[in-house]
Amino acid sequence: QQRLRVAGNFPADHTATKVMEIFKKEVEARTKGELQVDLFPNMQLGGAAENVDQVRSGTVFAIVTSIAYFTRIVPEYEAVSLPFLFSSREAAFRVMDGPVGKLFDERMAQKGFISLGYGELGFRHVTNNVRPITSSADFKGLKIRLQPNEVHLDTFRALGANPVAMDVKEVYSAMQQGVLDGHENPYNIIASRRFNEVQKHLSDTGHFYDFINAAANKRLFERLSKPQQEAVMASMKEAMTWQRAEAAREDERWRQQLVKAGMTFTPITPQGRADFRRSTAGVVESLKKRIDPKLIEAVVTEATK
């Protein structure tokens, strides 16, 4: 009998945490109890950045987190964070499950990680306290908090906003006090971090599509027997398959909950979205200077197939 520790940084009721629970049940059943999984969701073993360090050095077997925490380990991940890249979640997973995903797996393996699969964090949407957003002119001068990621920052600069890099722990009070005008996140994160309490306007900008991912320590993974390795892979695949469907189902429910909690929802028209695309068309060019342009083209081709 062997114990595997799996860590996560999402709240208890998030589908990413449920992924961990399904993974545990499946692994233990498939290996007839040879492998026992201990779960540490909800930042019990520290934040996501620390969990990544723990997996890399093998203190923890695997994590379920967002790929944002791997973009500085495997910079190629930035290619799937380009603005307005995916028109649907099906397109997003077509890329991750196809040849591009294979390439990501190789890059992860080179850095000592086994990629166990991807799920949905969701389309990211802008909230703010100044005005409803319908076209890129509405972004003008808004102080929007973004994750520290160059593609993200470039995108909002291109839209005319004033992107601010700020620690997420400060964001709630910063928006309450007016230090920030707004921020962007998937509906479920806006709700679970309660940002709706301090934000008025919500639009379905869907400017980035964000993935959750599961990754294991390569050395620990390879120490498992072949059947155990297969059990781990299959269990996570099953968990992620469930998560993708459930997250898609839940997404609209989360949006409605935000509206019910008092946010004003302004949908983006097709013209508005076309306007956003035009404004941010240059972002891809600056990314091509940092990572292999062939990979970016492959991602774009696959995404728009």
Partner 1 sequence: MTWLVIIVFCVLAFAGMPLAFALGFASLAALYAADFELVMMAQRMLHAVDNFPLMAIPLFMLAGELMVKAGMMERLVAFANSLVGRVHGGLAHVTIIAGTILASVSGAAVASASALGSALVPALRKHYPDSFNCAVIASAANLGPVIPPSNAMIVYALMAGSSVSVGGLFMAGIVPGVLLALGFIGIASFVSWRRKYPPTGEAFNARNAWVQFRKAHIILFMPIIVVGGIIGGVFTATEGAAIAVVYSGVVGLLVTRKLRLSDLPGCLFRAAVTASMVGALIALAATVTFLLTVDMVPQQMADWVKSMTADPMVFVLLTMLLLVVVGMFMESNAAYIMLVPLFVPIADAFGLDPLWFGFLFMFNLVIGMMTPPVGVLFFVMSGITRVPMGAIIRESMPFVIFQFVMLLLCVAFPSIVTALPRALGF
Partner 2 sequence: MTQGVSAAEAAPPPGDNGWPPIWPAIRRWVEALDRVSMVVIVLAMAAMTLMVSLQVFWRYVLSSSIDSADEVSRLFFVWVIFLAIPHGIKYAVHVGIDLLVMNLSPRNKERLFRLVCVASAVLMAAIFWAAWVATLDKWQELMPTLPITAGIYYVAVLICAAHSFIHLVLHAWLGSRIWEGRLS
Residue closer to partner 1 by CB (options 86, 187) is: 187
Q: Which of 34, 105, 150, 275 binds partner 2 (CB under 8 A)?
A: 150
Backbone torsion region of residue 43, taken as left when φ is above 0, otherwise alpha when ψ lies between -120 and 50, otherwise beta: left
5 binds, options partner 2, partner 1, none, Cβ within 5 to 8 A by partner type:
partner 1
The reply on whether position 225 binds partner 2 by CB under 8 A is no
**Cβ nearer to partner 1, comparing 217 with 243:** 217
The span of 2-10, 77-85, 156-164, 219-227 binding partner 2 (CB under 8 A) equals: 156-164
105 in contact with partner 2 (CB under 8 A): no
Pick 173 or 301: Cβ nearer partner 1: 173
Nearer to partner 1, 47 or 227 (CB): 47
Q: Taking a C-beta distance cutoff of 8 angstroms, is the pair 33, 1 a contact?
A: yes
Applying CB under 8 A, the span of 30-38, 119-127, 161-169, 246-254 interacting with partner 2 comes to: 161-169
Please report, as ranges, the residues that interact with partner 1 according to CB under 8 A: 5, 11-13, 38, 40, 42-47, 49-50, 53-54, 57-59, 166-167, 169-170, 172-174, 176-179, 191-194, 197-198
CB of 259 to partner 2, least distance (A): 30
Binding to partner 2 in span 31-70, by CB under 8 A: 53, 56-57
Residues forming beta bridges with residue 2, ordered by sequence position: 35
Are 295 and 76 contacting, i.e. CB atoms less than 8 angstroms apart? Answer: yes
> How many whole angstroms separate alpha carbon 195 and alpha carbon 183?
9
Q: Cβ closer to partner 2: 75 or 132?
A: 75
Based on the shown chain and the rule CB under 8 A, indicate whether residue 167 belongs to the binding site for partner 2. Answer: yes
Q: Does 233 bind partner 2 (CB under 8 A)?
A: no
* 179 contributes a contact to partner 2 by CB under 8 A: yes
Which spans of this chain sit near partner 2 (rule: CB under 8 A)?
Answer: 53, 56-57, 72-73, 75, 111, 141, 143, 148-150, 153, 162-167, 179
